[in-house]
Amino acid sequence: MESILANRPALAAEVDKVAEVAGYLWQKGWAERNGGNITVNVTEHIDDAIRALPAISPRYPIGTVLPHLKGCWFFCKGTNRRMRDLARRPMENGSVIRILDDCASYEIVADAPVKPTSELASHLSMHDKMIADGQGYKAAIHTHPIDLVAMTHNPAFLKKDVLTNLLWSMIPETRAFCPKGLGIVPYKMPSSVELAEATIEALKEYDVVMWEKHGVCAVGPDIFEAFDQVDVLSKSAQIYLTARSMGFEPTGTTQEQMDELKRAFNL
Ligand code: 2HA
Ligand code: ZN
């Protein structure tokens, strides 16, 4: 059967971006085995012919009710699929789903019955919040950056805004491009609805959310921008780690220098 992407360049371009970012996650060592997941709201690219397609799966519960997702469609990485395989063959390792009218369940529509990511509750909760916020954000990413996850094994870094200030102080760009910083969600069971709820709570205040001893989540207008947020934080973590492994504690930019940046960039 023909792919849903055939003759739909705008939808194909969104899936292409996901594949490109999936490759970066693998190359960075942030995506061991099936680690991490990506979802993109593709509703604007869904035409009447797609809407008429039958489901190719049973109806699955999301695990929570998300009222803003009524009538929405998502491209999702498949559960237990490798990020590096998603990079090369996105439609074999991910699928397009539609949210049903109860806002609490979904079905798979194309191309293959690949069940979405185990973190779907968190991802769809983030999308629900993005729609409520009305800023046109369409993408969510969860990944396992080695440096940032390692930092959460130090209890001192888990206190409110300690890690954010440390990471901001490593290089000015992090302050500029991740202006709301990194929120911390204390350890919770992967895939749980509790994790999803804590994630969207933290996203009210922060750009990126760290799941203690697990990984980060970020959202953005598209998947490139969501990835960039994590990438700048990881760069800061790398600078910190490099200084520490040279045998000294990095001084960091001063509070004054950061305040100056905040004023100059209107952060
Ligand atoms: O999809 O990263 O948190 C695999 C995971 C679960
Ligand atoms: Zn994970």
Q: Is residue 2 part of a domain?
A: no
Q: Is residue 134 part of a domain?
A: yes
What is the model's pLDDT at position 267? 85
CB of 117 closer than 6 angstroms to any ligand 1 atom: yes
Q: Is residue 151 part of a domain?
A: yes
- Indicate whether 143 pLDDT > 90: yes
- Chain-wide mean pLDDT for the chain? 97
Q: Is residue 1 part of a domain?
A: no
Amino acid at the residue 187: Y
pLDDT tens column, 51-76: 999 999 999 999 999 999 999 999 99
Taking the model in full, what pTM does it have?
A: 0.97
pLDDT tens column, 93-138: 999 999 999 999 999 999 999 999 999 999 999 999 999 999 999 9
Mean per-residue pLDDT, 36-60: 98
Active site annotation includes 119 = yes
For the chain, how many structural domains are there in total? 1
Q: Is residue 177 part of a domain?
A: yes
What is the model's pLDDT at position 176? 93
- Indicate whether 1 pLDDT > 90: no
CATH number reported for the structural domain that contains residue 85 in this entry: 3.40.225.10
> Please, which residues have CB less than 5 A from ligand 2, an ion?
215
Choose the residue to mutate in 117, 193, 209 for probing ligand 1, maximizing ligand atoms within 8 Å of C-beta: 117
d(CA 189, CA 174): 29
- Indicate whether 28 pLDDT > 90: yes
CB of 190 closer than 6 angstroms to any ligand 1 atom: yes
CB of 207 closer than 6 angstroms to any ligand 1 atom: no
Q: Is residue 79 part of a domain?
A: yes
- Indicate whether 211 pLDDT > 90: yes
What is the model's pLDDT at position 3? 97
